[in-house]
Amino acid sequence: MDPFPESIAHELLANLVGDARVAYVILDDAGLVRERGGELAWFGLEDVALGEPVDERIEPLQGSLPTIGESDVLPRIELVPGRATDVHIGAHGDGAFLLFLDVTREADHDRRLQQKGNELSLMMRTLGVAVFEDVGGELRRLGLSPSWARALLGTDPRPDLAESFPFLENFLIDARATWELRGPRIAWSGPWMAEDGRGREWQLEATATRLEDGRKILAVQSLEHRYEERHRLLQMARTRSLDFDRLRREIDKKEALLHYIIHDLKGPLGTMVGSMSLIKDRELDPERARELLELGLEQARHQESMIRSILDAFSAEIESLQHFESEEARAPDLLSAVSRALDTYRLAYEQNRVGLELRASPDLPQSCKVVGEDSRLVRVLCNLLENALRVSPESGVVEVFAEPCDAGFRITVRDQGPGVPEQDREGLFARFARTGVWGGTAGLGLYFCRSTVEMWGGSIGYQPADPQGACFWFELPRAL
């Protein structure tokens, strides 16, 4: 590259940055090229010839040539498409010089910043934030204004915020003090209310900060957007909570239904096993043996029928979990349900040599109608009888008490087993509760009893028996 004349070296030193491309043309007083140099081809000026007029592409610049002692800059001119050029014009002897500096990289950077600025401005507007810059003590609006700013401040690019918002008058003193501090600093105004021309009130809050490049920024935000976002998040949380509750209820229904199926299949199986065991282990007369065989066969057929109907009944069972009767005419009879549950387990108790006795209070009325559903009431009783049988010692006795109570009627199943250890009592009715005393179950039996009884408006609990054993009780309201 040709050396630069000393007359324009100071201009190069002042403007040359890094590896920027540079070229120059010196003209005499007649406008003819007297000197040229630099990377003329980069700027499309390779045809500029000495002693000739300037190229037609820069001929219009001659009108900008300065008088003696003057200089000027024409920024961001594209002599070649896609290449930004700053053209510096100055006096040189009795003529003038044109200095061409490539600023394509800087122009691209500025465009990217402008694009990001536009995106940021749009985002701030969406968030309800109006941004102002302090320039020489005057606040100038930056970017697009949100609706509240247009309603309160109009379209003036340099609004008087202290006049529009008297609350800000003192805060602007703190803001300017913050702007004078070095390093990142932020000051908050706290919320205030402002009323627009239509009588609508806006709750606002201002933040003052100094950017890394030294710019002094004041951002004013409508808190309505913040509250709307908070409300949206709360609403979303409530919706998801409701969805979770619905899902949990559906899971509970399916788990309860699974327990029903297991229970219904185990009942006939226990009767069959009991009948076969009695025939095998005892000397029975032919008539008694035949009765037991018939009982076992009947239960086998019953189980087969249930297995065939499980899939058909599955969806209907789920829907029926929430169905129960509270009117006396259709409500289940408590003593009738107790009688059927005792009949179901009597043979199993006999096989295990455990006594099973019903002790009904003489104060009970002839009809003991309770809120509930008949088949599930029998299942609750069967669960308690099965648990009592599992823990009862040989020759022990399980007693079933039926009596009136304040809520309606109370059933208590008392066994002579070891009782429930104190450390296991708290979670005894929880789902999947498993203890050594109740080992061998799926951990759903007592949970099913609790959820079913409570669904009907009743209560259920445990207390240790005196001197030994366990008492499981539940109360159900009287059907009216």
| Same-domain status, 141 and 92 | no
| Same-domain status, 414 and 467 | yes
Q: Is 241 contained in some domain?
A: no
Phi, psi for residue 305 in degrees, rounded to 5:
-65, -40
Those residues whose C-beta lies under 8 Å from the C-beta of residue 274, and which sit 6 or more positions away, are: 347, 348, 350, 351
Range of the domain at 54: 6-102
Task: State the CATH number of the domain containing residue 40.
Answer: 3.30.450.20
Of 226, 242, 264, the one marking the end of a domain is: 226
At residue 441, the pLDDT reads 45
Cα end-to-end distance, the chain, whole Å: 109
- Of residues 472, 385, 460, the one with CA closest to residue 420: 472
What's CA 388's distance to the chain center, in Å? 46
Q: Is 349 contained in some domain?
A: yes
| Same-domain status, 379 and 439 | yes
| Same-domain status, 90 and 213 | no
Q: Is 303 contained in some domain?
A: no
DSSP state of 438: T
| Same-domain status, 96 and 122 | no
pTM: 0.41
- Cα distances (angstroms) measured from residue 35 to each of 42, 93, 190: 17, 12, 65
**For 339-359, what is each residue's pLDDT tens digit?**
999 998 888 898 889 999 999
Task: State the CATH number of the domain containing residue 406.
Answer: 3.30.565.10
At residue 13, the pLDDT reads 47
At residue 147, the pLDDT reads 80
At residue 326, the pLDDT reads 83
Place of tokens 């349900």: 337
Digitized pLDDT (tens) for each residue of the chain, 480 residues in all:
445 565 555 555 445 555 678 888 888 888 888 888 888 888 888 888 888 887 665 655 655 555 444 567 888 888 888 888 888 888 887 888 888 889 888 888 777 766 665 566 666 766 778 888 888 888 888 877 788 888 888 878 788 887 888 888 888 888 888 888 766 678 888 888 888 888 888 888 888 988 877 788 888 888 876 666 677 777 888 888 888 888 887 777 777 767 767 767 776 777 777 778 877 777 778 888 888 888 877 777 777 766 655 554 454 455 555 678 888 889 999 999 999 999 988 888 988 899 999 999 999 998 899 999 998 899 899 989 988 998 999 999 999 999 999 989 999 999 999 998 888 888 888 765 555 554 444 456 787 888 889 989 999 999 999 888 999 999 999 998
| Same-domain status, 52 and 155 | no
When divided into structural domains, the chain yields a total of 3
Q: Is 305 contained in some domain?
A: no
Q: Is 245 contained in some domain?
A: no
Of 178, 207, 226, the one marking the end of a domain is: 226
At residue 412, the pLDDT reads 97
- Cα distances (angstroms) measured from residue 377 to each of 321, 339, 357, 385, 449: 12, 12, 19, 13, 9
C-alpha span between 124 and 144 (Å, rounded): 8
**For 95-146, what is each residue's pLDDT tens digit?**
888 888 898 888 887 777 666 655 666 667 667 788 888 888 888 888 777 8
| Same-domain status, 128 and 25 | no
At residue 313, the pLDDT reads 46
At residue 19, the pLDDT reads 66
| Same-domain status, 98 and 190 | no
| Same-domain status, 90 and 140 | no
| Same-domain status, 151 and 47 | no
- Cα distances (angstroms) measured from residue 180 to each of 170, 173, 205, 301, 345: 16, 11, 21, 93, 89
Q: Is 109 contained in some domain?
A: no
What's CA 265's distance to the chain center, in Å? 42
Q: Is 273 contained in some domain?
A: no
| Same-domain status, 371 and 454 | yes
At residue 303, the pLDDT reads 73
| Same-domain status, 478 and 330 | yes
- Of residues 98, 346, 376, the one with CA closest to residue 253: 376
At residue 305, the pLDDT reads 62
Q: Is 272 contained in some domain?
A: no
Of 226, 261, 278, the one marking the end of a domain is: 226
